[in-house]
Homo-oligomer: A and B are copies of this chain.
């Protein structure tokens, strides 16, 4: 492992650990009423996950905040933004795993929330996580005008024109062949919107100018799509133990994927060009965007 990669690995594990600590603190105490609900919320969010969305928020924040010059308030705001995107992601997994959706029993190597608790508690835990994310944004110690922008970005990305909408298209498209454009629309909503929101929130909180935001948005679009292409490839090539979730699920349920549309080789070619797009989008940002470039490589190269 080269020195640069070692440094990135160490940053990554530091941020994963930090994110876990922040989430631990910001989630409701397991002992407070309603205890079972709070325990389910914590179970859903803590103890696992790649924390890709938090990483993106922190790395986008770094583009705008020179190392060592971030104020305590800005650092705290970044923590809250990173926690908010992880919480929205966690809620979406809880609901996706429910019997009326994917009916999955394994997530991050553990029983899914409705298996560990029960269906009603799993649904309510998801329902309660969502407003918690917005509450955290509202508590960020930054200018109210920036908070309003953050709320707008998160709400739009989580809603019917973003994540929830992509999920709905996914449900409707089971068993049907989508065109590449339709598949891309679905994924850009289902996964891309929240990955993009993570990048943008980091930028907004750190005071990104509008030209920086444009670069961040192009980067996020490429990385968001790349993330999904890798997911589709891993669903075919990895095993359940490595993934920590059920492998081969999409193929088994006859869901359209990049692999079913382009084949494995075609999917890998697409991945390669998306990685290049992501790096090209970062060029105007110079060295400050180095971390975002490393994350793009990490997402493309991940094996789970």
Contact = CB atoms under 8 A, between A and B. Distances in A.
Copies in the complex: 2
B138 A37 contact: no
**Interface SS of chain A: helix, strand, loop or mixed?**
helix
Interface string A95-139: 100111100000000000000000111011011101110110111
A99 B145 CA distance: 41
A156 interface: yes
A34 interface: yes
A21 interface: no
A28 interface: yes
Given A130-B130, A131-B156, A135-B156, 7 more contacts: A95-B127, A128-B164, A128-B165, A131-B154, A134-B155, A137-B151, A138-B155
A169 interface: yes
Contacts of A272: none
Contacts of A159: 128, 131-132, 135
B127 A164 contact: yes
A167 interface: yes
Interface in A133-187: 134-135, 137-139, 143-145, 147-149, 151-152, 154-156, 158-162, 164-165, 167-169, 171-172, 185
A34 B168 contact: yes
Contact of A155 (B38, B131, B160, B162): B131
B171 A124 contact: yes
A41 interface: yes
- Please give me the 6 A-B residue pairs with the lowest Cβ-Cβ distance, nearest first: A135-B155, A100-B119, A144-B144, A128-B164, A37-B168, A128-B160
Interface residues on A, range: 35 or more
A36 B172 contact: yes
6 contacts: A28-B160, A33-B185, A34-B172, A131-B156, A131-B158, A134-B155
The listed residue with most B CB atoms (<10 A of its CB), out of A126, A128, A145, is A128
A130 to B, nearest CB: 5
Given A37-B160, A151-B138, A101 B128 contact: no
A189 B92 CA distance: 24
A139 B152 contact: yes
Contacts of A128: 158-160, 164-165, 168
Nearest to A182: B33
A126 B156 CA distance: 15
Interface in A8-39: 28, 33-34, 36-38
A148 B138 contact: yes
A121 B37 contact: no
B160 A41 contact: yes
Given A131-B130, A148-B138, A155-B138, A121 B168 contact: yes
Contacts of A130: 127, 130-131
A81 to B, nearest CB: 14
